[in-house]
Amino acid sequence: MGSRPEILFPLFASCLSLKGVGQKTFLNLQRMKISRPRDIMLSLPVSGIIRRISKSVFDTPLPAIMTIEIQIIAHISSKTRGRPHYILVRGLDSDFNLVFFHSREDYLKTIFPEGEMRIVSGKVEVFDGLPQMTHPDYVVKLPDKKDIPEFEAVYPLTYGVTQKVFSKLVKEVLTITPELDEWIDPSQKLQAGWPDWKTSILTVHNPIGVDDFSRSNAARDRLSYDEFFAHQLTLALARMVAKKKSGMSTCGGERERSALIKSLAYKLTNAQSRVISEILKDMAEPKKMIRLLRGDVGSGKTIVAFFSLITAVSSRGQAVLMAPTEILARQHYEVFLGLAKAVGVKVDILTGRDSGRGRKTKLEALASGSIQILVGTHAVFQQDVVFLNLRLVVVDEQHRFGVNQRLELSSKGLSVDVLVMTATPIPRSLALANFGDMEISILDEKPIGRKPIKTVMISTSRVKEIVEKLDQAIKDGRQIYWVCPLVEESELSDKIAVVQRFENLGTELGRDLVGVIHGQMSTNDKDVAMQKFVRGETKILVATTVIEVGVDVPNATIMVIERAELFGLSQLHQLRGRVGRGSAESTCVLMYKGPLSKTAKERLSILRETEDGFKISEMDLKMRGSGDLIGTAQSGLPEFWIGDLESQGDLLDVAHSDARTLISLDPHLKSKRGLAARNLLWFMDKNKAIDLIKVG
């Protein structure tokens, strides 16, 4: 593959090579994550300013940005130090002032000689009944009026980088924009009505009206597609390389699966049966399986995973389930112990807490193959953990293991089948962005007999009333979660702290009945508190969102979420899913502090109306955006310069399909279009993908 093609060299030089970029500007650009001309090219304007010449200063309601032809009448300077310098000017129909602060008077007199004509453009405001323009953005002589654009692009800038400076840099970068061969399928390009790449770049940086900023603008649309396409090509290449590793055909296990079905106290849903078939079909192939299992809270992913695990074991193999926390790993282990009895399989657990002789014994049992299914945290992939015949890896709560962690997992040389599960019912666009290298299975049914959860909204002013009802619920043998948004009191915040709420409830309901969990506790203390609640020793568990994922206490039937208006929709839905896991009626209480904003009211109302996690996540994506929805920091979710996952999911769909098609037709990207696609990957900084072409 070699290094970056020469045609792209100028775009990957340092911004210091551009005119007018000194060390200070360079550092400010770097703080904006801009260090190369290519980054400037991908920083698109977000709005524009109309700078057509107005006949009168009163043409538009003030304040407004205006461009006016003027005659300079007089300079009015104050003898008082630090006072502004005024220049009285005359437009076509009236007099007004130009105002300058901290400017040199002699300099202003050379730019604005009395009696001469100029064109000025800037913000006009009214002060003491007279219009005035403070520090005009443009000052030109009449013959140079073309130097003021009729419509000027406005860029989203920070750290003291001005529009003037950035616009000059954009102009310079556009002069070095190369012509690149086309990587888009010709029929796709024609159907979408997209211009060429270079034309698109030039067009988006030279808007002529507000329509040029809409999502439907052809040039912007095309550049969003390019970005999505490069990302999906990377995932398609990763998938191709993973699939090429000689996988193992894992068949059999009918007897074990039949025994398991007979032992269950419930019937599998149609969705569970369908997904199990999809997984078993993949495992039987001699290629490596890479499949994502998306299932809403309580849709029964764990049992689906267990069917996959025992299928791996039936082929004299071993299987492992990796969970993000020790609490969750232990819960899976407890569930699996019960299921394993029915099929005669040896299950064990390995976490960071195992040490010394106990750990050594487990490692020996794994290496000899006597442990058939291992449950654990990240600890299961430490160097000294060796399997005799590992065939399947199941990763729970995949959104906490991003694309990079998946590549890391594969790089351990494990040519095993991989099944990843998430209870975050993320919308399709986010699933494609984060998991486009996988096949996707969806569990879209609740297990038979699950009762709906009653969701109510109550003001925080009625907290005493809620505590009285909880007292009665505890006497009736029920358990309760109480979730708070913050760990400790902050002077800047009126959010009730977890610790404060724990103290209050302990006083009201009895100290022994209330437990607490928050992020600042040690893993051991969290585990102890959780286990007490699981065993029913504590009746009410006050917690932060650490209890959001996976922990299963069937006797917990009430979920109180304090200051619910501060949480996102998907997070509220996840928390609500902690109850309603047994046969009793369950309730979720959304405690809010009024008055609610329109958005908060809408968010809480959606939660009352539906329990459909996929529907909720689509609404959440529209209302909050992708970063908030699954936490960009831990999700591995890509950040796009131009593409927008919220509004352009359909475009991502097309890019996903096109990328897979191109890789299947031209896996080494050697055709004319393939070589053009390599240029795109280089331009989009997808160096890892380029390494994958070599591997593939």
Last-in-domain residue among 575, 591, 610? 610
Torsion, Cα 93 99 104 105, to 10 degrees, reads: 40
Does some domain include residue 617?
A: no
**Do 424 and 490 belong together in one domain?**
no
User: How far apart are alpha carbons 674 and 292 in whole angstroms?
Assistant: 28
Sequence-distant (6+) residues with CB within 8 A of 330 are: 349, 351, 527
Report DSSP state, residue 184: S
In order of 148, 205, 299, the CA distances from 212 in angstroms are 19, 10, 44
State pTM to two decimals: 0.63
Report cis status (omega within 30 of 0) of the bond before 554. no
Does some domain include residue 228?
A: no
**Do 305 and 385 belong together in one domain?**
yes
Does some domain include residue 676?
A: no
**Do 356 and 469 belong together in one domain?**
no
Q: Is the dihedral of CA 490, 491, 492, 493 positive or negative?
A: positive
Does some domain include residue 664?
A: no
Does some domain include residue 281?
A: yes
How many other β-carbons are positioned within 10 Å of the β-carbon of residue 596? 17
In order of 230, 519, 522, 545, the CA distances from 562 in angstroms are 43, 17, 24, 11
**Do 292 and 317 belong together in one domain?**
yes
In order of 38, 43, 574, the CA distances from 33 in angstroms are 11, 10, 34
**Do 420 and 518 belong together in one domain?**
no
Last-in-domain residue among 443, 478, 502? 443
* Mean pLDDT by groups of 10 residues along the chain of 696 residues: 79 87 86 89 88 82 88 81 80 83 83 89 87 89 85 85 86 92 92 93 86 82 92 83 71 80 84 92 85 79 90 88 83 86 89 85 91 87 83 74 51 69 66 68 75 86 91 90 71 60 88 86 81 89 71 83 84 82 83 84 81 69 48 49 76 88 88 91 81 59
How is residue 583 written in tokens?
A: 């046969």
CATH of the domain at 377: 3.40.50.300
Write out the H or E segment, with its range, that includes residue 694: helix 687-695
Q: Are 436 and 656 in contact (CB under 8 A)?
A: yes
Q: Are 423 and 301 in contact (CB under 8 A)?
A: yes
Query: What does the pLDDT look like over 153-200, one tens digit per residue?
Result: 889 888 888 888 898 899 999 999 999 999 999 999 999 999 999 999
**Do 117 and 174 belong together in one domain?**
no
- Domain encompassing residue 198: 6-47+169-214
Say how many domains are in the chain: 4
* 347 SS3 class: strand
User: How far apart are alpha carbons 308 and 314 in whole angstroms?
Assistant: 10
Q: What is the pLDDT of residue 4?
A: 84
End-to-end C-alpha distance for the chain, whole angstroms:
11
Query: What does the pLDDT look like over 322-355, one tens digit per residue?
Result: 887 787 888 888 889 888 888 889 999 998 787 8
Q: What is the pLDDT of residue 494?
A: 46
For the chain, what is the radius of gyration of the CA atoms? 32
**Do 438 and 343 belong together in one domain?**
yes
User: How far apart are alpha carbons 360 and 431 in whole angstroms?
Assistant: 39
* 307 SS3 class: helix
Sequence-distant (6+) residues with CB within 8 A of 149 are: 51
Q: What is the pLDDT of residue 436?
A: 61
**Do 66 and 37 belong together in one domain?**
no
Long-range pairs, 266-273, Cβ under 8 A, ≥24: 266/447, 266/448, 266/449, 267/448, 268/300, 268/303, 269/299, 269/300, 269/443, 269/445, 269/446, 269/447, 269/448, 270/445, 271/299, 271/442, 271/443, 271/444, 271/445, 272/300, 272/303, 272/304, 272/443, 272/445
**Do 127 and 179 belong together in one domain?**
no
Sequence-distant (6+) residues with CB within 8 A of 36 are: 11, 12, 13, 14, 15
**Do 27 and 142 belong together in one domain?**
no
Does some domain include residue 662?
A: no
**Do 426 and 566 belong together in one domain?**
no
Write out the H or E segment, with its range, that includes residue 558: strand 556-561
Does some domain include residue 78?
A: yes
Q: Are 156 and 98 in contact (CB under 8 A)?
A: no
The DSSP line for 366-424 is HHHT---EEEESGGGGSTT---SSEEEEEESSGGGS-HHHHHHHHHTT---EEEEEE-S
Q: What is the pLDDT of residue 180?
A: 93
CATH of the domain at 80: 2.40.50.140
Q: What is the pLDDT of residue 82?
A: 66
Write out the H or E segment, with its range, that includes residue 203: helix 197-205
How many other β-carbons are positioned within 10 Å of the β-carbon of residue 333? 21
Q: What is the pLDDT of residue 377?
A: 84
Does some domain include residue 275?
A: yes
**Do 284 and 328 belong together in one domain?**
yes
Q: What is the pLDDT of residue 626?
A: 43
User: How far apart are alpha carbons 247 and 239 in whole angstroms?
Assistant: 13
